[in-house]
Amino acid sequence: MVDVTPADAVPPAEVGEVELYHPHSWWTKYVFSQDAKVIAVQYSATATAIGLVALVLSWLMRLQLGFPGTFDFITPEAYYQFITMHGMIMVIYLLTALFLGGFGNYLIPLMVGARDMVFPYVNMLSYWIYLLAVLVLVSSFFAPGGPTGAGWTLYPPQAIMSGTPGGQDWGIILMLSSLILFIVGFTMGGLNYVVTVLQGRTRGMTLMRLPLTVWGIFTATVMALLAFPALFVACVMMLLDRVLGTSFFMPAIVEMGEQLQHNGGSPILFQHLFWFFGHPEVYIVALPAFGIVSDLISTHARKNIFGYRMMVWAIIAIGALSFVVWAHHMYVSGMNPYFGFFFATTTLIIAVPTAIKVYNWVLTLWRGDIHLTIPMLFALAFIVTFVNGGLTGLFLGNVVVDVPLSDTMFVVAHFHMVMGVAPILVIFGAIYHWYPKVTGRMLDETLGRFHFWVTFVGAYLIFFPMHYLGLMGVPRRYAELTDMTIMTESARHLNSFISIMAFIVGFAQMVFLFNLIWSIRHGREAGGNPWRATTLEWQTPQTPPEHGNFGKELPIVYRWAYDYSVPGAKEDFIPQNVPGDFAPSREPA
Amino acid sequence: MAVVLVLVLIVVGSVLFHLLSPWWWTPIASNWDYIDNTIIISFWITGIVFAAVVLFMAYCVFRFRHREGNRAAYEPENKRLESWLMIVTAFGVTALLVPGLFVWSRFVTVPGDATAIEVVAQQWQWSFRLPGKDGKLGTSDTRDVTADNPLGVAPKDPNGQDDVLVQAADLHLPVGKPVKVLLRSIDVLHDFYIPEFRAKMDMIPGSVTYFWFTPTRTGTFQVLCAELCGQGHPLMHGVVVVDTEQDYLAWLGQQQTFAQLSAPQQSGSANQPPGKIIASNLGVAANSKLSRSAQ
């Protein structure tokens, strides 16, 4: 694929330069900032902070599972609150916010060659509403009755009934309100990302020259804008059921011997709405990770990404298909069982474009010049965990195999491997990769390698054996596994082992946080382009880039994002803004 | 280089763990060994793919790691290779899907001679209803649930009068006879799950769901609730005993019908809503009834 524009053939800009908002004070520069890069850091810091809460919650639940009965304060009630908040925080408030709000904000304008997002003010609002959503969520820990313990799927009727923690207290109300706020905030950011990619690209940056990171984030955002409304209405309807006594999801119910006032609603309608959002949500998290990891592998293997066009189409195909597979979460929900034929087929079809992506990552390594940097290590670890988790998805997607495995620890192991561990490994790799651009300094190498090895090996040791507990039939969401005939003594030991590994992996994250903070001042100076990468964010005149990103002149793009090791070129990379067929590369300032 | 070693170890370790670890499914007690076979096919296909991808990656890292003077090849695309990989993948996926859908069609096709029985869930216990001499279950409605009629059997329906009710006790089933399990809940979602039978299905208040199976060996099997149903969820155990035909009939003879239980002199027993008993015992010890049934 030779895709180089001669220097004199780049089309003129369609839209002239727009004056950016210039901050007047420290407050408007760093707090109420309209600079996408500052907003990105705000999003990332908030997501990391709430993510730490989720990490501690996971420790608490592993204490209970690994050492049952040892910790009196972990009542069944508390356990369900822990798992619910852990799940919701990780999926929505950490992963979605960090990939789209964090990486999206930082990388989209820089990578497409724009000065900022197209609607900076709305972008700023997006963050502040997200922060409000997080605060409402956190407030439920201090509300009477505590947070909701309905499970992150919030299935009614139990989510709003008294047998569930927070069901008849504040917990569920605050959770639903927080989700509604999150979606409002996300929509403001999401519209920005989409319009910036479509309208804000610099001269010469055609869609088929975008780095795959941008393709991943862009497609995920489009999906999120289509999927979140389903969750939004589900939340509003459940809130009405809970507060005003409507019956959207509530049939006739006898609770503890008493007839409730509800009648005629459909609990399974909620599940359809939830998973119409929930399954695309998996890919909303996964597609940015796919995109980012493609760029990490290409850059650190000094080789063009293999099959770029196929990679783009695979991202789009996965995004589209993921809207017609949602009911594979509901094979044993009691929906019409004949749906199983359709949803199993669509679900397994999605494996084909996904497998193509895996092949192309590995084929990018083939005949590369692989630098085993920390971002590359995380990318390799991502492939291992993603392939592992993706393949167990073929078990669960294949309707009849799901029957025994559904609602067991197999499911827990599967989704943690594929949408927990794998995307988070990409996040780590991405942070080690772009931290030098954000701060101007490198993260510490020794601490980084320690962090990598403990996280990767530890996480694999946590989640690989867990599949086999599920195969035994051990159900998920059990606060205690006592009096259970299938639980053998050795299975209890395995649970203790998993818990100990979870504490160790959690500890390694503290080392990572220390590294993040310590290196801001003490890290090695990075220079403008420490990885010798081709994409535009590494070609900025300043590092960290200042407001407006590219100084006086916006870059002009002459080539795709993957001109690594071009035969005949002097250097093993040619930045996108360098004209000419085999031009010698230009050292950025 | 450590990476290469670890990648190889992950493949070897995972395979050895799969083969040697003591954690495997419970011995099957129903006709759904079809499902077990489909899982075995899935393990083979996915295991081969996993090993192939990770080992190939390990080889690439070993062979193409950076050394002074190395330069990567420049190969943006290879249509032929990409097409081949797509075809092979589609073939592998089909090999998983076809047996899966074949077994699913059996799972959703209830044999004509299956006996319908009903399982009723509520926070946090199981009850059962078997058709009486007429072979028919009477209709039911959550709105008919009262202290004296905890399963909500329609009081006027003649078909329901001889239904056998098993409230908060063990269910017995005859071995070798197909059963269609009708699932009902009167409060929240639950899920009737017996690991040895491999099958499970959610119960939804306001609907009747179902699945079918044939018990293939006698024994005592624990029922677990597999859908989060509130704080008593992990204690919601029950017991299904699979009997020989003789033992089953002996047990059945001791059970009471709906008409018998609704007679005025019979009321007053076992009518306390179970959730209240369990709720008051939570965090202290399992309710005595539950721990007995859990054995």
The closest alpha carbon to B65, from A369, A361, A298, A374, belongs to A369
Choose the closest CB to B224 out of A150, A475, A482: A475
Please give the pLDDT value at position B295: 34
| Distance separating alpha carbons of residues A15 and A200, to the nearest angstrom | 9
| Distance (Å) from the alpha carbon of B201 to chain A's nearest alpha carbon | 5
CB contact under 8 A, A362 and B57: yes
CATH of A33-205, one of 1.20.210.10, 3.40.50.920, 3.90.1150.10, 3.40.50.720: 1.20.210.10
Partners of B153 in beta bridges: B140
> To probe the interface with A, which of B24, B66, B127, B225 has the most A CB atoms within 10 Å?
B66
The 10s digit of each residue's pLDDT in B172-214 is: 999 999 999 999 999 999 999 999 999 999 999 999 999 999 9
Choose the closest CB to B97 out of A265, A398, A488: A398
> Mean pLDDT of all residues in chain A?
93
| Distance separating alpha carbons of residues A336 and A500, to the nearest angstrom | 42
Please give the pLDDT value at position B266: 43
The closest alpha carbon to A312, from A56, A562, A44, belongs to A562
Q: Please name the residues between 311 and 340 in chain A that touch chain B, using a CB distance below 8 Å.
A: 332-334, 337-338, 340
A310 to chain B: which residues are within 8 Å by CB? 77, 82
| Distance (Å) from the alpha carbon of B273 to chain A's nearest alpha carbon | 5
Please give the pLDDT value at position B270: 47
Beta strands in A243-376 (DSSP E): 254-255, 258-259
Percent of chain A past pLDDT 70, that is, above it, reads 97
CB contact under 8 A, B123 and A256: yes
Domains, chain B, with CATH or none: 2-64+78-108 (no CATH), 115-294 (2.60.40.420)
DSSP letters for A13-60? PSS---PPPPP-SHIIIIIS---HHHHHHHHHHHHHHHHHHHHHHHHH
The 10s digit of each residue's pLDDT in A564-586 is: 999 888 889 999 999 876 544 44
Tokens of A483: 């009096």
Using a 10 angstrom Cβ sphere, with 0-12 exposed, 13-18 middle and 19 or more buried, the burial of residue A18 is: exposed
Please give the pLDDT value at position B247: 95
8 Å CB contact between A142 and A169: no
| Distance separating alpha carbons of residues A96 and A220, to the nearest angstrom | 10
Q: Does any CB of chain B come closer than 8 Å to the CB of residue A270?
A: no
The β-bridge relationship of strands B200-203 and B171-174 is: unpaired
Give span(s): CATH 1.20.210.10, chain A.
Answer: 33-205
Please give the pLDDT value at position A13: 73
Please give the pLDDT value at position A457: 97
The 10s digit of each residue's pLDDT in B119-157 is: 999 998 999 999 988 888 999 999 999 988 989 999 989
Please give the pLDDT value at position A25: 87
pLDDT beneath 70: ranges in chain A:
1-2, 7-8, 14-15, 581-589
pTM, entire model: 0.93
Please give the pLDDT value at position B275: 53
| Distance separating alpha carbons of residues B169 and B238, to the nearest angstrom | 8
Please give the pLDDT value at position B133: 87
Partners of B121 in beta bridges: B126, B185
| Distance separating alpha carbons of residues A437 and B83, to the nearest angstrom | 38
B191 to chain A: which residues are within 8 Å by CB? 332, 407
**Residue B274 pLDDT class (50, 70, 90 cuts):** low
Placement of tokens 């709430």 in the chain: A50
Please give the pLDDT value at position B264: 63
8 Å CB contact between B220 and B202: no
The 10s digit of each residue's pLDDT in B222-246 is: 999 999 999 999 999 999 999 999 9
| Distance separating alpha carbons of residues B92 and B59, to the nearest angstrom | 23
Q: Is residue B280 over pLDDT 70?
A: no
CA A105 to chain centroid: 14
The C-alpha angle A319, A394, A365, rounded to 5 degrees, equals 70
CB contact under 8 A, A352 and B90: yes
Choose the closest CB to B100 out of A253, A257, A344: A344
